């Protein structure tokens, strides 16, 4: 059992470092061409923190491990919402912008609802799961979300940094290539040895996906949001989490379904209900206590709910 755990940890290390190198190289390349920090944050950094989930799911989908695909997405979104936002709120209660309350949080709810309805084929009769048509539908929603982001940027323009990055093109492209290589190798290790660990422990791939894989691939979001909270940058912390949850469903699940249709295990319904309930709680929390703010007691509720949910999930398995 120690060998699979060791290789999973090595895989997570490669995923995190690979994402970091890729983001650094891509950001340097963007700044060299005077692209603003806002555009970089909403595109390159957002993609970079979601890259581990994307790579892990691409391999899992290709190899036919549907429970790891779904467990990673639902588990990562629940981890982001309950653990990371909870920790950020405990470190420093934060104010949320009007646009996040009335637009981004509802879009995250729409993403979770879309996943639920598409999984159960409410619109098309047949076997429950995600077909390639569902993948195209979610990818279309992702394109609409990107359009919304760029509309926001036009409404609130940000000046690009005046100082050019002094890195050479060789260094920039070396970082990008090494970063992508780390992502690919790390993703392969995580999937292969997560499946092996599940077999050795006698637990389902669903539980491994919801816990170990989901928590590991969410580490970039955790680090980014905690650092942002400590620097009192609540917009980045909240935006990183809400944006990542939208990315995970509309982009990563869509890509996974396009690679190979995904069978849906109805046991995931409970985990999806938790995601929907947590997103609704976050919205309601903006109007309770101090308005437009996640207070410490609300953050504590999020973390406590996740601990209880994790214990319940393992026990009922």
CA distances from residue 274 to 97, 180, 270, 278, 280 in whole angstroms, order as listed? 24, 33, 6, 6, 10
Instruction: Provide the pLDDT for residue 165.
Output: 54
Q: Which residues pair with 274 in a beta bridge?
A: none
For residues 284 and 71, what is the distance between their CA atoms, to the nearest angstrom? Answer: 26
For residues 240 and 247, what is the distance between their CA atoms, to the nearest angstrom? Answer: 10
Total count of residues recorded for the chain: 317
Instruction: Provide the pLDDT for residue 258.
Output: 95
Q: What is the pTM of this model?
A: 0.81
Assigned token pair, 270 = 């409970």
Closest CA to 53 of 16, 21, 83, 10: 16
The 8-class DSSP code of residue 80 comes to: I
Mention every residue, 6+ apart, whose C-beta is less than 8 A from residue 273: none
Assigned token pair, 159 = 């000046």
- Give SS3 for 128: coil
For residues 105 and 246, what is the distance between their CA atoms, to the nearest angstrom? Answer: 9
The 8-class DSSP code of residue 165 comes to: P
Kindly report the CA angle at 280 between 121 and 206, in degrees rounded to 5?
Answer: 50
Per-residue pLDDT of the chain (317 residues; tens, 9 = 90+): 788 889 888 988 887 788 778 777 776 776 776 665 545 555 666 677 777 888 888 888 998 999 999 999 999 999 999 998 999 889 877 777 777 788 889 999 999 999 999 998 876 655 678 999 999 999 999 999 888 877 776 665 554 444 445 678 888 888 888 887 887 788 788 878 888 887 788 888 888 888 888 887 787 777 767 766 776 766 666 777 888 899 899 999 999 999 999 999 998 999 999 999 999 999 998 887 677 788 889 999 999 999 999 888 878 76
Instruction: Provide the pLDDT for residue 160.
Output: 45
For residues 293 and 100, what is the distance between their CA atoms, to the nearest angstrom? Answer: 11
Instruction: Provide the pLDDT for residue 43.
Output: 63
For residues 57 and 73, what is the distance between their CA atoms, to the nearest angstrom? Answer: 8
Radius of gyration of the chain (CA): 19
Residue with tokens 């993609």: 47
Angle between helices 234-247 and 219-230 (to 10 degrees): 160
- Supply the DSSP string of 193-260, one letter for each residue: HHHHHHHHHT--HHHHIIIIIHHHHTHHHHHHHHHHHHTT-HHHHHHHHHHHHHHIIIIIIHHHHHHS
- Look at phi and psi of residue 126 and say left if phi exceeds 0, alpha if psi is from -120 to 50, else beta: left
Assigned token pair, 38 = 């806002």
Instruction: Provide the pLDDT for residue 295.
Output: 86
Residue with tokens 């909870």: 86
For residues 221 and 74, what is the distance between their CA atoms, to the nearest angstrom? Answer: 15
């Amino acid at each position: 059992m120690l060998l699979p755990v060791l290789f999973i940890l090595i895989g997570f290390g490669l995923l995190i470092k690979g994402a970091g190198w890729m983001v650094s190289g891509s950001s340097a390349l963007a700044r060299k061409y005077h692209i603003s920090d806002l555009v970089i944050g909403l595109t390159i950094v957002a993609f970079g923190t979601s890259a581990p989930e994307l790579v892990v799911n691409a391999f899992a989908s290709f190899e036919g491990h549907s429970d790891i695909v779904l467990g990673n997405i639902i588990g990562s979104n629940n981890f982001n919402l309950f653990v990371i936002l909870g920790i950020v709120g405990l470190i420093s209660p934060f104010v949320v912008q009007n646009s996040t309350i009335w637009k981004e949080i509802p879009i995250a709810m729409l993403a979770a609802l879309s996943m639920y309805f598409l999984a159960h084929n409410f619109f098309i009769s047949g076997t429950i799961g995600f077909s390639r048509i569902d993948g195209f539908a979610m990818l279309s929603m992702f394109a609409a979300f990107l359009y919304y982001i760029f509309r926001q940027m036009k409404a609130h323009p940000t000046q690009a940094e005046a100082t050019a990055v002094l890195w050479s093109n060789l260094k920039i492209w070396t970082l990008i290539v090494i970063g992508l290589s780390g992502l690919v190798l790390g993703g392969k290790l995580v999937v292969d040895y997560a499946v092996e660990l599940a077999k050795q422990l006698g637990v389902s791939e669903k539980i491994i996906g919801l816990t170990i894989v989901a928590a590991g691939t969410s580490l970039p979001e955790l680090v980014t949001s905690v650092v942002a909270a400590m620097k009192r940058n609540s917009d980045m912390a909240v935006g990183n989490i809400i944006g990542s949850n939208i990315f995970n469903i509309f982009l990563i699940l869509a890509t996974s379904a396009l690679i190979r249709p995904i069978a849906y295990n109805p046991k995931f319904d409970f985990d999806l209900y938790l995601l929907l309930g947590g997103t609704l709680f976050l919205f309601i929390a903006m109007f309770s206590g101090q308005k437009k703010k996640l207070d410490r007691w609300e953050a504590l509720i999020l973390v406590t709910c996740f601990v209880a949910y994790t214990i319940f999930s393992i026990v009922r398995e």
